[in-house]
Structure 1
């Protein structure tokens, strides 16, 4: 057994503890409390982190590890042009080895930033291998695409084959899900087929929805750049005369097995649908802002009892994994949107980045808080620097002042992560040269 002491222990599920400690044994948390209350455990190794806080590992509920090497490659583009550039880079410029390196690079960055679990949305499957190799927990959602009804059967067959292969390596806290990508890449027939496949196999689902005005125009009016692009490809476009969330509801896709991503372009009736369906939501404030999208009505969702987590999205649309920045952005954007200080506070934002993320992934019984019996996935945050002192409240200090550079150590199942990034950095540099030479 090992006892870790710090100036602050922040369990999330309970109030923060001044001069606290956690006891770890067999990869699990055995005790959490004031340091003096854990003194009685004899024979335990003691490790002290003065000036630090110990917190649960962050849960990044929406990411794309496979896209990490596209950081900085698709800057200053409209959403439509950004998507077209992303598709071209993935399928024309990058090969299998590059995508695998990208996923590994992303997994390493997550751990360096204190993220121990992810809601990963993957296309080619490399992310699953990277998560297993580096020890990240969470759900890897296999994407499925097919905007034309005519290819729905083929797309579903591909999804089934991939999922059957990937599920062989599932664990209690590392699971496979399905992701019908978005209304501009998934036909009505494919949405329905994916829904039936996922539910018959008890797979969690996630989907990008209501992210942009262009998507709203496509779904509601059959108009805009997405509609034009589909018609240019000979794909029939059918106006649904409703919002994207209403469209998914009509397809019976809203429920406690669905994690909705973004959820920006909604109306008051959509808020009712979210509340009544038991669906989960992941909010990506920095990525949304960078791509020029509007601000999601997060505080209103939470007031209605909807669980909302935080995600970074991909490094192609958000250039850094920093959950402190995501928490700050979430708080500030909600206050600007509503004009109310109470719209979102530090404590709620911290929950969004930890236990609420675990709930959205269906893993709250195992991760997301420092609770005896859960996995010992925790992070040590250095609060001794000039940018974080003095500390009056550790949660508020971390949300409003800390950065990923303050992550002192990351632990997975009680073991400190120690990774060499030298080879991955060399490979990433080579991929950059390949991309620059292709455009």
Structure 2
């Protein structure tokens, strides 16, 4: 048994409880008790460690990131979604060369240093499967489904089956196969049906980019605008939308999906997402760079959503640090009291990220029976703890995953 403590524990339960001079008593599998450090010291202990002038939180989950774009360092166009997507198509091959694995490993190390223990990896090509499976991270590995040309559907179905089979070889208590639908505008209906059938039969987590841009909204509503020209230029096709927004949502019944972005969803669509038991993931820096917009947070909270926060990939961000992401959001949403917002943001990368998850992972709260995944941050100030953690932390002082302190260069 092990005991780790600090001046403050942020339990990240629904009421955002804080224990001063608290401790976590745990073994390799689960947290046995959370209480005052002094009280826990009387138990049988193999090793103990107390971090002075520090705060401990559940380690963070970055549930939406594209690790395969880890080589991007300024090649892509920002400020307009259409121009950005064009630049991705043009530069994609140069971002996936032989040095990609080294770049991905570098970004994994940075995420670990920032207190992240779990990621949702949106994998378009499967280049990241081995490096992630061999990392200390817990991974929801979302095999992304994309393809709009009917003649390519049989090949894409075979590819998806092969990728799911490959993922099964790595499946463990830390690596969980999953499926991502790229978006309603980019997946042929036959291919979508196949992917959703696999998700249902295998009971896999499902993620989808949804209403990220005005361009997507115009295409799905009217079959016009940027995407009409996009399909003509890049695919030589006079494409029409495969779905309306409503018919697409109907197909997701019973799958409890993660909806990523949802910047331009209206109240009726949010109500439908709620009935689907959907969860909303927001990537504020990505949304600012691509769409000059932010998720209307008050609207989400008023509709009963516990918003999850993530970084997206380096294709639309400058770092994969959730500390950086939360700091940006803290400044951006000026309608909220700063300490209240800081607490909601931390819950959005801990508690909310794991609530009612399909993989059965009890994480995101410092609580008996939950996995011993937690991060330690230096903190001199004893007031407005959540706020000061986000404002002043650049990296975690220590990170424990499965009760083991993660060592990284």
Aligned pair 1:382/2:378, yes or no?
yes
- Computed over aligned residues only, the root mean square deviation of the Cα atoms, in angstroms, reads 2.4
CA contact (8 A) 1:212 1:293 kept: no
CA contact (8 A) 1:355 1:364 kept: no
If the length of structure 1 is used for normalisation, what is the TM-score? 0.85
Distance 1:209 1:349 in 2: 21
Q: State the SS of the aligned residue for 2:148.
A: coil
Distance 1:363 1:89 in 2: 35
Distance 2:230 2:195 in 1: 24
1:294-309 to structure 2, matched below 5 A, reads: 294-309=293-308
1:110 matched to which residue of 2?
111
1:36-435 to structure 2, matched below 5 A, reads: 36-76=38-78, 78-92=80-94, 94-95=96-97, 97-232=98-233, 233-239=235-241, 242=244, 244=245, 246-250=246-250, 252-335=251-334, 339=335, 341=337, 345-359=341-355, 361-363=357-359, 365-384=361-380, 390-399=381-390, 401-405=391-395, 407-420=396-409
What stretches of structure 1 of length at least 5 have no aligned partner? 385-389, 421-439
CA contact (8 A) 1:173 1:363 kept: no
Q: State the SS of the aligned residue for 1:191.
A: helix
1:5 matched to which residue of 2?
5
Q: Displacement of 1:50 after TM fit?
A: 0.6
Q: Displacement of 1:42 after TM fit?
A: 3.4
1:107-135 per-residue CA deviation (whole Å, 9 max, x = no partner) reads 11210111000111012223222222221
Q: Displacement of 1:25 after TM fit?
A: 1.7
Q: Displacement of 1:345 after TM fit?
A: 2.3
Aligned pair 1:26/2:25, yes or no?
no
CA change 1:194–1:274 in 2 (3 A) is same
Distance 1:360 1:92 in 2: 39
CA contact (8 A) 1:309 1:360 kept: no
What stretches of structure 2 of length at least 5 have no aligned partner? none
Q: State the SS of the aligned residue for 1:253.
A: coil
Q: Displacement of 1:411 after TM fit?
A: 1.4
1:201-228 per-residue CA deviation (whole Å, 9 max, x = no partner) reads 2221111110011111221111122221
1:325-381 per-residue CA deviation (whole Å, 9 max, x = no partner) reads 32343354444xxx5659972222211111111227535642211112222111110
CA change 1:256–1:202 in 2 (3 A) is closer
| Larger CA deviation: 300-309 vs 131-140 | 300-309
CA change 1:360–1:71 in 2 (3 A) is farther
Give the number of aligned pairs. Answer: 406
CA change 1:268–1:293 in 2 (3 A) is same
Distance 2:356 2:327 in 1: 20
Distance 1:117 1:280 in 2: 17
CA change 1:33–1:364 in 2 (3 A) is farther
Q: Displacement of 1:16 after TM fit?
A: 0.9
CA contact (8 A) 2:23 2:40 kept: yes
Q: State the SS of the aligned residue for 1:185.
A: coil
CA change 1:254–1:391 in 2 (3 A) is farther
CA contact (8 A) 2:228 2:240 kept: no
More helix by share: 1
Q: State the SS of the aligned residue for 1:135.
A: coil
CA contact (8 A) 1:60 1:119 kept: yes
CA contact (8 A) 1:143 1:180 kept: yes
Q: State the SS of the aligned residue for 1:70.
A: coil
CA contact (8 A) 1:248 1:254 kept: no
Q: Displacement of 1:299 after TM fit?
A: 2.9
Distance 1:223 1:162 in 2: 34
Distance 1:127 1:93 in 2: 13
CA contact (8 A) 1:325 1:403 kept: no
Q: State the SS of the aligned residue for 1:404.
A: coil
Distance 2:339 2:45 in 1: 47
| Larger CA deviation: 301-310 vs 43-52 | 301-310
